[in-house]
A and B are shown apart, each in its own frame.
Chain A
Amino acid sequence: MDALGDLANGFATALTPVNLFWAFLGVLMGTAIGVLPGIGPAMTVALLLPITYGLDPTAAFIMFAGIYYGGMYGGSTTSILLNTPGESAAVVTAIEGNKMARRGLAAQALATAAIGSFVAGTIGTLLVVLLSPLIVDLAVQLGAPDYFAVMVLAFIAVTTVLGASRVRGFASLLLGLTLGLVGIDQVSGQQRLTFGVGQLADGIDVVVVAVGLFALGEALWIAAHLRHATAQVIPTGPARMGREEFARSWKPWLRGTGIGFPFGAVPAGGAEVPTFLSYVTEKKLSKHPEEFGHGAIEGVAGPEATNNASAAGGFVPLLTLGLPVTATAAVMLAAFQQYGIQPGPLLLENEPELVWALLASLFIGNTMLLVLNLPLAPIWAKLLTIPRPLLYAGILFFASLGAYAVNGTIVDLLVLFVIGLLGFMMRRYGLPVVPAVIGVILGPRAEVQLRRALQISDGQISGLFNTWFSITIYVIVALVLLWPLINRFIIRRFRRRPEHEVHVGHAHPLAELAEEIAEEPTGEPTGPSSEQRKPRSIR
């Protein structure tokens, strides 16, 4: 109950009029930017980082809480009202959500997404509040080898779970680690990979990397392939739902929360797998399985709640271990570092006011989102029709502004340009961007822990796995490495058509699979009879 008392103090900080204003501004800007097509939650947070430079840390993080959930919610609005999904975690939402919207149920789809996000976000944040102090108690006992092991796990999870190709995931991670090496070595004070450029001695600013990979790389990539046909936005009134929709939604919300939170709280590589699991679960349990693939409300409610619960769960490793497991969390970590604050087990002790105000703001931001988004849905829908040249010009404008504002030097703009080109290349050749961002941020810290552990053991390599905790983590690492094999086996079992047309617009093979499951004829879900119905004889 101690945690709840601290939380009450957090509310006392966050509920002052000034801080409420920052939270409101964060929610509003986060949603508005997040709704814009082509801008995912991570880019939203990265682009809005500079706005907080002039604020004190507490106000800045209160604002961030709003931006964080606002950006998430904005993304799902985009995928429901536009015909193609943007960021990968919203892909599953888009399958049923967009079909609902086309059936004239846009308001209901947006409502179940908004209320589901609120329910999941609130429960998830409450779990963060209750769990974090317990995990901190555990985390303070961890030593250098344990931290190094956890970071290795984060690296492996983010490279193997995301994207279709593991070798490309590793390539991306290594590119990130390379960028992280640039600058003065924290232990010996020697310059590495600076090539004599003085301004690189401090290392490449994480904000510049995040803006370069997410904003500039994305804008350049889209510019090279800009769709000239105008996107079809489905018109909508204020989001609302009736009794029947509510009755069909509340269980998927709760189940989605249950599925999403644990996946977010352990370094498991983002929200894609849990949203997919939620979708499959809802289809199995639904009383209307025949509606799946044609706009079933459960297929929006479940994955949307999952997505938000997983985002909330991500705060547990971020606040207690300083470990970001998603791109958005990685950018949040960059924001912490901007203020010289190191997230980790000591954060709660050193900055209790900030942490509890942040957590309280997550509740406040979540509530504001609900209040704002139900009536404002038609306005958000209008944002989707913004002329694309202005939208992407705006992204380049704010990316340049943000990168320059970090240190006030044009070297950062040149670095931004190079990293933007790197981001372009990665998108062109299917290298996922998230592992690179995680690599940049965690790489230097993993190196410090590695060297500290080896210093303690006097160079003995066994010093890296001499605790039960690190051994456990390495066992999990081994399992994660084997997981894609198991996963692939499951996908093969599910897959009906061995070769199928490429679905443009799907960032993840799981999304394709989900779509296939959606189209699957209903009836008894498995068993020999469904086996016989398979149209396998095509080949």
Chain B
Amino acid sequence: MQGRSELGVALFLLALGVLIVIEALRLPANPGQRGPVGPAAVPIVVGALLVVTSAFLAKDVLAGGRGEPEAGEDVDLSRGSDWRTVLLLAAAFLANVVLIERIGWPISGAILFFGCAFALGSRHIVRDIIIAFALSIGTWYLFDVGLGVDLPVGLLRGIL
């Protein structure tokens, strides 16, 4: 079962390699090209190496080789992947992408933080909402006002 998904990695590398080579070959010829090596050469080499690497990886997997999942302080590899949490995190992340320029970072950032904390199993709703807004408003002041890095203020324009 795991072997099959590992072959998926080889397939991904293969597809990526082929894509890069095709894209490189489609580059228009450039009459003003300087030097013997054009813009297509390096992508073709990288794409070809990806194809070769995918073949070696497939060979390794078929011979029983397995990539070792990364361990860490908070990582428990004894159980399967918790896809529900990952999907909820992705949703919180993408919500911020959609909302940041519409309603501004002070609110979208708070939604991002709260959504992630909730997805990861925190149920201290009130505490988390307070922390979320403290972080998003605090970072907005720090970056936009303090450091001069633009962050959209959105709905709270005039209030902050």
Contacts and interface: CB of A to CB of B under 8 A. Distances in A.
A405 B53 CA distance: 36
Contact of A187 (B35, B89, B131): B35
Nearest to B94: A417
Given A190-B27, A396-B112, A413-B96, A454 B71 contact: no
Given A54-B146, A410-B101, A454-B37, A219 B67 contact: no
Contacts of A216: 93
Given A181-B20, A405-B143, A459-B37, A228 B76 contact: yes
A6 interface: no
B36 A417 contact: no
B65 A165 contact: yes
Given A165-B60, A228-B76, A390-B122, A401 B139 contact: yes
A447 interface: yes
A315 interface: no
A393 B109 CA distance: 11
A187 B46 contact: no
B64 interface: no
Interface in A378-404: 387-390, 392-394, 396-397, 400-401, 404
Interface string A213-249: 0001011111111111101000000000000000000
Contacts of B103: none
A178 B68 CA distance: 23
Contacts of A506: 71
A413 B97 contact: yes
Nearest to A186: B39
A474 to B, nearest CB: 17
Contact of A222 (B57, B66, B74, B90): B74
A225 B69 CA distance: 11
B73 A177 contact: no
A85 B57 CA distance: 28
Contacts of A165: 60, 65, 67-68
Q: Which of B35, B56, B65, B131 has the most CB of A within 10 A?
A: B35
Contacts of A505: 71-72
Interface stretch (A303-311, A421-429, A518-526): A421-429
B23 A192 contact: yes
A167 B73 contact: no
Contacts of A429: 5-6, 9, 67, 69
Interface in B137-160: 139, 142-143, 146-151
Nearest to B101: A410
Interface in B39-93: 39, 41-43, 46, 49-50, 53-54, 56-57, 60, 65-79, 81-83, 85-86, 89-90, 92-93
Given A164-B68, A174-B46, A396-B93, A454 B36 contact: yes
B4 interface: no
A223 B86 contact: yes
Given A181-B43, A401-B143, A389 B121 contact: yes
Interface in A36-83: 37-38, 50-51, 53-55, 78, 82
A387 B124 CA distance: 11
B97 A219 contact: no
Given A405-B143, A414-B97, A171 B57 contact: yes
Contacts of B54: 171
B42 to A, nearest CB: 5
Given A400-B96, A454-B37, A225 B75 contact: yes
Given A222-B75, A507-B71, A401 B109 contact: yes
Given A53-B149, A396-B92, A410-B101, A427 B70 contact: yes
B148 A54 contact: yes
Interface in A427-486: 427-431, 447, 450-452, 454-455, 458-459
Contacts of A181: 20, 42-43, 46
B64 to A, nearest CB: 12
Nearest to A166: B56
Interface string B121-137: 11000001001000110
A224 to B, nearest CB: 4
B124 to A, nearest CB: 8
B113 A507 contact: no
A496 interface: no
B107 interface: no
B97 to A, nearest CB: 5
A190 B39 contact: yes
A281 interface: no
A170 interface: yes
A86 interface: yes
Contacts of A188: 30, 32-34, 38-39
Given A178-B46, A396-B89, A454-B35, A171 B53 contact: yes
Interface of A: 37-38, 50-51, 53-55, 78, 82, 84-86, 164-165, 167-168, 170-171, 174-175, 177-178, 181, 185, 187-188, 190, 192-193, 216, 218-229, 231, 387-390, 392-394, 396-397, 400-401, 404-405, 408, 410, 413-414, 417, 420, 424-425, 427-431, 447, 450-452, 454-455, 458-459, 504-507
6 contacts: A84-B72, A86-B72, A228-B121, A231-B73, A429-B6, A451-B41
9 cross-chain pairs, A with B, having the tightest CB-CB distances, nearest first:
A430-B67, A54-B147, A459-B36, A455-B35, A393-B116, A389-B122, A389-B120, A429-B67, A37-B73
Interface of B: 5-6, 9, 12-13, 16-17, 20, 23-24, 27-28, 30, 32-39, 41-43, 46, 49-50, 53-54, 56-57, 60, 65-79, 81-83, 85-86, 89-90, 92-94, 96-97, 100-101, 105, 109, 112-122, 128, 131, 135-136, 139, 142-143, 146-151
Given A38-B73, A226-B74, A390-B122, 7 more contacts: A192-B27, A221-B75, A224-B82, A225-B79, A226-B76, A400-B109, A417-B94
